[in-house]
């Protein structure tokens, strides 16, 4: 992805989908059609849980009951909804360490006690989890089980089962953030937490990575028992979410366009993922990263003899822009962590970007 | 407004605009045009404060600086943003009594100490305000200065000046909720709190009553000093608001369609307001209400010898549906308060609805 103010700078900062991959013609056709057909509904006040036909479509698609589906203005806002509705002051929230930076911020903002569980190449360290639960049972455990943002890690089935088991035993809730799940470029799907522990799981997902981020249409599938509280939180926050983009998303799904678009995105992004992994192997073999099978990100850990602060502070001098790796960690670590988004980059940009990164890293290697 | 499940029931419950008044043809034209022109921006990730061109349009329209403008997914959600960003536990919030029920809920949910100041026909009771400030200086004062929801009351200039003066003296912030302000059907505009005390005022408004509620596009104009906190709260809540409907609203404004639409709505709603006031004079002269000059609502207080609980509980038997008046009050009062929305009703429906209400009231008069 290029930076308009400096077209030569390669931006490793944000995980945007490729703008060229937005199916704008189809979106416009769907919008015009549903606005004509359903405009009197979509532009009037509506239901606090979202546009009914899209809720029904999602319920069918995700094998859930209608009442289990809540649509909102992004999946991210659900973190605030869930935390506000379920957390009491001083409650503990677990996250993977590293984790999605915005999730850490959301949970901090809610006043939760944050505990980061060390993330390994196949999910969190289970011994650390057992030690943590002996200290304090959490109220919530937020994780991104597939192609994690920022590390690219996918939690193995064995670890999912252990986590699901612990959640059932201690009655805490798992927030399963799954925006990348359909974007698997190789290997086989692993059962979701919603399948393994349906009564303990709040499964959140969105159309941002599968169709369009600017629409801000996220959805949540939760246990029946929790839903009234979440539906009410939605109503009391904004009366109802934005129906206009929900209508477009519905029409897009109803016409059977979503799965072909996901297939198209997989075909576009798979070689980009491979190109970046190849470039890393060639230019930065001294760094370590988890091989990923999908999603948007690779998470690089630079060797200990690299001055990660200097790398970050001097990125633009080397023609790249990096996110601050420390933002993804619940503690003070992350200085030598680099998140590399690959979906918005051609193979050539990836190659060039990683080459520049390697030069920058070698410059600050002691 | 009819109830689809019982077409004969007259619904006095919600303040929806007239669905027939939604300018759907223009909305669809604007949508198609801006989606083609700006689709790569509107359907991609965007800025946390909203779609730039709409922010600039609003800044020009409202004579504010660009940084003072925050766009969000409804004006209502700003109450949560403002409260979350500015309130500490135990802080006091003032509201008019009665007030917008959803504002009371939002402030309660934030854990604020709620104080309701008695509302008179020209705004709150100033003596009560002076007594309240001696007890406890509030952090925020939420009010709807024009055509208040639910009472229809407009705060006089003299009272606005007294409130603005007190806010400056004690450093509290006024949340000026002004969704109905442009919908004045007679009389002259009164200066806003933003004009009287710009450094103390968070002015919130939206396109819900002026164009379309389903779009959920609200906007806030605040003092420079507070804006960074609010912009950040927006980003940390949902990355950014829904660009799709902001794009439509922008195109609608850019083409100069907003003012003609407001003019059209005034022409449609003015006789409806008059029809309802006339019907009340004819059929319910024993009730009291503030004459309103705009907006959506009349707020009726039934005489003390009417059993308000019985009226509310038996409404459908008399062919009408009423909102629970108690929801608009910060204390336990409101049993005999009835909010009557008039914009979604033809003069004939108003006449018939008020006749039924009069019959219901007389049935439960002691």
Six token digits for residue B39:
């689709």
- Residues of B (57-76) whose Cβ lies below 8 Å from A: 73-74, 76
3-state secondary structure of A214: coil
CATH topology of domain B39-254: 3.40.640
Residue B241 to residue A73, Cβ atoms within 8 A: yes
Return the pLDDT at B15: 85
- The residue written with tokens 């049935």 in the block is B363
Global pTM reads 0.95
Return the pLDDT at B298: 97
3-state secondary structure chain B: CEECCEEEEEEECCCCCCHHHCCHHHHHHHHHHHHHHHHHHHCCCCCCCCCHHHHHHHHHHCCCCHHHEEEECCCHHHHHHHHHHHCCCCCEEEEEECCCHHHHHHHHHCCCEEEEEEEEECEECHHHHHHHHHHCCCCEEEECCCCCCCCCCCCCHHHHHHHHHHHHHHCCEEEEECCCCCCECCCCCCCCHHHHCHHHEEEEEECCCCCCCCCCCEEEECCHHHHHHHHHHHHHHHCCCCHHHHHHHHHHHHCCCHHHHHHHHHHHHHHHHHHHHHHHHHHCCCCEECCCCECCEEEEECCCCECHHHHHHCCHHHCEEECCHHHHCCCCCCCCEEEEECCCCCHHHHHHHHHHHHHHHHHCEC
Residue B46 to residue A77, Cβ atoms within 8 A: no
Query: Per CATH, is A37-254 categorized as 3.40.640.10?
Result: yes
Residue A35 to residue B28, Cβ atoms within 8 A: yes
Q: Does A137 touch chain B (CB under 8 A)?
A: no
Return the pLDDT at B269: 97
Q: Could you report the predicted ipTM of this complex, rounded to two decimals?
A: 0.95
Residue A76 to residue B239, Cβ atoms within 8 A: yes
- Interval B10-57: pLDDT, tens: 999 988 999 999 999 999 999 999 999 999 999 999 999 999 999 999
Residue B244 to residue A215, Cβ atoms within 8 A: yes
Contacts of A28 in chain B (CB under 8 A): 32, 35-36, 39
Interface test with A, best of B238, B245, B261 (most A CBs within 10 A): B238
Q: Does B130 touch chain A (CB under 8 A)?
A: no
Q: How far apart are CA A187 and CA A56, in angstroms?
A: 30
Return the pLDDT at B7: 64
Q: How far apart are CA A211 and CA A206, in angstroms?
A: 9
Q: Does A19 touch chain B (CB under 8 A)?
A: yes
**How far off is chain A from B157, nearest CA to CA, in Å?**
30
Residues in CB range of A355: below 8 A, 6 or more apart: A279, A283
**How far off is chain B from A127, nearest CA to CA, in Å?**
32
pLDDT tens, residue order, chain B (366 aa): 445 556 689 999 988 999 999 999 999 999 999 999 999 999 999 999 999 999 999 999 999 999 999 999 999 999 999 999 999 988 999 999 999 999 999 999 999 999 999 999 999 999 999 999 999 999 999 999 999 999 999 999 999 999 999 999 999 999 999 999 999 999 999 999 999 999 999 999 999 999 999 999 999 999 999 999 999 999 999 999 999 999 999 999 999 999 999 999 999 999 999 999 999 999 999 999 999 999 999 999 999 999 999 999 999 999 999 999 999 999 989 999 999 999 999 999 999 999 999 999 999 999
Inform me whether the pLDDT recorded for A4 exceeds 60. Answer: no
- Interval A232-290: pLDDT, tens: 999 999 999 999 999 999 999 999 999 999 999 999 999 999 999 999 999 999 999 99
Return the pLDDT at B3: 52
Contacts of B243 in chain A (CB under 8 A): 214-216
Q: Does A356 touch chain B (CB under 8 A)?
A: no
Count contacts between A and B (CB, < 8 Å): 150
Q: How far apart are CA B40 and CA B140, in angstroms?
A: 40
CA closest to A37 among chain B residues: B24
**Which run of H or of E encompasses A92?**
strand A92-97
CA-to-CA separations, B345 to A93, A206, B193, B255, B301, in angstroms, rounded: 50, 38, 31, 30, 21
Q: Could you tell me how far CA A358 lies from the centroid of its own chain?
A: 27
Tell the burial category of A347 from Cβ atoms under 10 Å away from its Cβ (0-12, 13-18, 19+). Answer: middle
Task: Sort strands A69-72 and A218-221 into parallel, antiparallel or unpaired.
Answer: antiparallel
pLDDT bin (cut points 50, 70, 90) of residue A64 is: very high
Q: Does A50 touch chain B (CB under 8 A)?
A: no
Q: What is the torsional sign of CA B90, B151, A233, A14?
A: negative
Q: What are phi and psi of A190, to 5 degrees?
A: -110, 145
State the architecture of A2-22+259-363 in CATH terms: Alpha-Beta Complex (3.90)
For residue A214, give the nearest of B36, B45, B74 by CB distance.
B45
Domain ranges of chain A: 2-22+259-363, 37-254
- Interval B228-251: pLDDT, tens: 999 999 999 999 999 999 999 999
Interface test with B, best of A206, A237, A240, A343 (most B CBs within 10 A): A237
Q: What does the longest C-alpha to C-alpha distance in chain B come to?
A: 66
Interface test with B, best of A106, A214, A230 (most B CBs within 10 A): A214
Percent pLDDT > 90 in chain A is 96
State mean pLDDT over A25-50. Answer: 97
For residue A39, give the nearest of B24, B242, B244 by CB distance.
B24
Residue A216 to residue B80, Cβ atoms within 8 A: no
Q: Could you tell me how far CA B233 lies from the centroid of its own chain?
A: 22
Residue A73 to residue B242, Cβ atoms within 8 A: yes
Inform me whether the pLDDT recorded for A56 exceeds 70. Answer: yes
Inform me whether the pLDDT recorded for A7 exceeds 90. Answer: no
Beta carbons of B303 and B290 less than 8 angstroms apart = no
CA closest to B218 among chain A residues: A238
**Which run of H or of E encompasses A61?**
helix A52-61
Inform me whether the pLDDT recorded for A180 exceeds 90. Answer: yes
Inform me whether the pLDDT recorded for A6 exceeds 80. Answer: no
Residue A40 to residue B17, Cβ atoms within 8 A: no
Beta carbons of B250 and B34 less than 8 angstroms apart = yes
Q: Does A248 touch chain B (CB under 8 A)?
A: yes
Inform me whether the pLDDT recorded for A3 exceeds 60. Answer: no
Rg of chain A on CA atoms, in Å: 21
Return the pLDDT at A89: 85
Return the pLDDT at B73: 97
Contacts of B296 in chain A (CB under 8 A): none
Residue A44 to residue B106, Cβ atoms within 8 A: no
């Amino acid at each position: 992805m290029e930076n308009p103010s400096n077209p030569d700078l390669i931006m490793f900062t944000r995980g945007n989908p490729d703008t060229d991959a937005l199916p704008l013609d189809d979106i416009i056709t769907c919008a015009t059609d549903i606005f004509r057909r359903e405009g009197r509904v979509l532009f009037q006040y509506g239901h606090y849980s979202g546009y009914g036909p899209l809720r029904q479509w999602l319920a069918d698609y995700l094998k859930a009951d209608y009442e289990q589906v809540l649509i909102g203005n992004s999946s991210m806002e659900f973190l605030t909804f869930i935390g506000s509705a379920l957390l009491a002051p001083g409650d503990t929230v677990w996250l993977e360490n590293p984790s999605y930076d915005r999730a850490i911020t959301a949970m901090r903002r809610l006043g939760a006690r944050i505990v980061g569980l060390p993330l390994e190449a196949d999910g969190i360290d289970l011994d650390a989890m057992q030690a943590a639960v002996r200290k304090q049972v959490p109220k919530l455990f937020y994780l991104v089980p597939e192609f994690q943002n920022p590390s690219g890690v996918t939690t193995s089935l064995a670890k999912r089962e252990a986590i699901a088991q612990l959640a059932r035993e201690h009655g805490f809730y798992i927030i399963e953030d799954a925006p990348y799940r359909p974007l698997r470029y190789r290997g086989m799907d692993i059962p979701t937490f919603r399948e393994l522990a349906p009564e303990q799981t709040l499964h959140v997902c969105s159309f941002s990575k599968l169709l369009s981020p600017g629409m801000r249409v996220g959805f949540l599938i939760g246990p029946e028992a929790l839903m009234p509280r979440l539906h009410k939180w939605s109503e009391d926050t904004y009366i109802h979410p934005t129906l206009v983009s929900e209508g477009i998303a519905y029409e897009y799904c109803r016409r059977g366009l979503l799965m072909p678009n996901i297939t198209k995105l997989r075909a576009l992004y798979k070689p980009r993922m491979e190109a970046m992994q190849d470039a890393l192997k060639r230019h930065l073999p001294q760094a370590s990263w988890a091989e990923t099978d999908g999603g948007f990100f690779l998470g690089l850990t630079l060797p200990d003899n690299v001055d990660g602060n200097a790398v970050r502070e001097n990125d633009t001098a080397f023609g790249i822009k990096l996110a601050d790796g420390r933002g993804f960690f619940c503690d003070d670590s992350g200085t030598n962590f680099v998140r590399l988004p690959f979906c918005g980059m051609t193979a050539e940009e990836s190659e060039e970007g990683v080459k520049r990164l390697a030069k920058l890293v070698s410059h600050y290697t002691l």
